[in-house]
Chain A
Amino acid sequence: MRLTSQQQDMLAGKHGKGCSLAMKVLVGIGETFNAPRMVPITRAHVALSNQDADIWFAEKMVAGGAHCKVPPTVNPGFCLAYFTEKNRVSKADAACMQRTHDAYKALGAVLSYNCTPYLGSNIPFFKEVVAFSESSATPFVNAVWGARTNRESAQSALCAAITGCVPEYGLLLDEKRYGDILVEVHADMKSHFQYQLLGYMGKKIGPGIPVFVGLGGYVSPEALMNLCAELNTSGAYGMFHIVGVTPEAPTLQDAFGHKQPARTVVITDQDLDDVLHREISDPGDTQIDFALFGCPHCTLAQVKELLSYVDGRKLSVPLWIMTSAFTLDAARKMGLLQALQRVGGDIVPDTCSDQPCWHFLKDRTGVTDSPKLAYYPRKRGLRFVVRDMQTCVEAAVQGAVK
């Protein structure tokens, strides 16, 4: 790779050990993908995770004197104040979260603790070059906003935030953004839940850039968010197009760059039903112990939707909605938080489902509308029946799910 003299100085350690390591990682990635040079970024989002590798790498950067040139927004860990007050976390787990917080604070990150920055705190412009990690965030900013990022890992996005640049390859280039798989959706996409299942079809869709047709004229932000999150649970997708919806796909020809698709995949209602019952959900017809929503973080519209299904009825099991501190604040001002608390539910800010704060639910069965939420915490012993939001809320009222 050709580096500028300033970039060479960074690599050589003239800006500290942390910055040097960050540049070394970016050069390694650049060489893998034959990038000719580095290009500047103007935004970043780091998928902070409060997990061992995250703490190890962030603290290594702090110890190496690194500071973010481009302050990144960050993902949720868990809300220390909320869970320590409720006595739900061990001293050791609380200490980890404090270390994560301290490390990212020292690095100069924007402590937004939210996994949907593209809907609020960090929205890039069309064609803006950025470095976004986080499952749903990368494809959302590429496909929906038309910004340009590769599918950064939490660590490579942090390296980009520190150095202020990324190697130029892949989705940063016009010709690498065209679709190559035609995905004909014949399923009835009646709510944002169907987009969760469509996103989970990664095995059937296969590697590449999908171009979806058959999704109608309007796709809601929640549907797009779900599609993005699940595409990067079932597979690895940095980009997609929806013909007639996303900005780089006004027509099928534009989406494919006037080339023929490499293959065509058809998705039917049966496919969505099969993936739900065979791969995503635990069996239904069971008592449940809790309900958990907000993977990715619920929007204000989803908070309102959920409350409309509750319809003032008392819940039989605890129910939590995870969201950003910003959405929680609005929900409080609008009386939505109080309405949910009155029936036995709650809204939790700054928190991810895949965190030790939920360990008190180990070996219990919950309901959720998110396949991603069911997928990762499997390792922590949480079990989930996955259904659409209305069915989940009904289950929380009845204490059992169909």
Chain B
Amino acid sequence: MGKRFTCHKIAEGAAEGEVIRSKDEIMFYLVDPDTGVVLEKAHDLEGRSIAGKIIVFPGGKGSSVVQSDGLYQLITKNNGPKAMIIQYPETVLVAGAIIMEIPTVDQLEPDFYAAVKDGDRIRVDADNGYVEILSA
């Protein structure tokens, strides 16, 4: 069994997948729905794909409208994130995660952020309140 960390549920569900970390907040509208590649100029993830990944990032930013549309477009094209782990929940992203049914959690300990790396396989279980690093 990998190392487990407790967390707090935002949107229900569970998922397993590969981690992609972003130092910057994310605006999902500026992610290409056909590829999952981040389009935003000067963004930490510019040119990289979030499709099918578990994103570890500070939180959402930007428009109260197109954030949800960005997530909706990604999900209807099967290029959405599998789960989201955030540090600073804000209502726009929280509402989007609940409505679009993307497992989402917050309140991970600093230990988790020290341990988790790009490419790690992890499991996010929002319903049971834990995140597990399966393989580094």
Contact = CB atoms under 8 A, between A and B. Distances in A.
Interface of A: 25, 28-29, 31-33, 47-49, 51-54, 56-57, 75, 133-135, 138, 150-157, 159, 170, 202-203, 207, 232-236, 238, 278-279, 354, 375-376, 378-379
Given A153-B96, A236-B90, A28 B11 contact: yes
Interface in B63-113: 63-69, 71-73, 76, 88-96, 98-99, 106
A379 B91 contact: no
Nearest to B92: A153
A232 B68 contact: no
B95 A156 contact: yes
B65 A236 contact: no
B58 interface: yes
Interface stretch (B13-21, B24-32, B128-136): B24-32
Given A53-B72, A134-B64, A152-B91, 4 more contacts: A33-B91, A153-B96, A159-B95, A238-B91
B4 interface: no
Contacts of B66: 49, 51, 354, 376
B56 interface: no
B5 to A, nearest CB: 18
Contacts of B91: 29, 33, 150-153, 156, 170, 238
Residues of B in contact with A, size category:
35 or more
A232 B11 contact: no
B39 A379 contact: yes
Given A154-B64, A155-B96, A236 B41 contact: no
A51 B76 CA distance: 13
A379 B35 CA distance: 13
10 contacts: A33-B94, A52-B69, A153-B64, A153-B93, A154-B68, A157-B64, A234-B62, A236-B88, A238-B90, A376-B63
B65 A154 contact: yes
A141 B77 CA distance: 36
A233 B66 CA distance: 11
Which 3 A-B residue pairs are closest in the complex by CB-CB distance? A53-B72, A133-B64, A156-B95
Contact of A152 (B29, B71, B72, B92): B92
B68 A153 contact: yes
B61 interface: yes
- Taking each of B10, B41, B65, B66, which has the highest tally of chain A beta carbons within 10 Å of its own beta carbon? B65
Contact of A235 (B25, B42, B64, B94): B25
B59 interface: yes
A236 B60 contact: yes
A29 B94 CA distance: 7
Contacts of B94: 28-29, 32-33
Contacts of B58: 207
Nearest to A133: B64
A376 B95 contact: no
A25 B96 CA distance: 10
A32 B64 contact: no
B65 A232 contact: no
A200 to B, nearest CB: 11
Nearest to B60: A236
A133 B24 contact: no
- Taking each of A48, A53, A155, which has the highest tally of chain B beta carbons within 10 Å of its own beta carbon? A53
A51 B70 CA distance: 10
- Taking each of B68, B91, B94, which has the highest tally of chain A beta carbons within 10 Å of its own beta carbon? B91
Interface string B31-66: 000000001011000000000000000111111111
A155 B67 CA distance: 11
Contacts of B11: 28
Contacts of B73: 52-53
Nearest to A278: B42
A211 to B, nearest CB: 18
Given A154-B64, A234-B61, A54 B92 contact: no
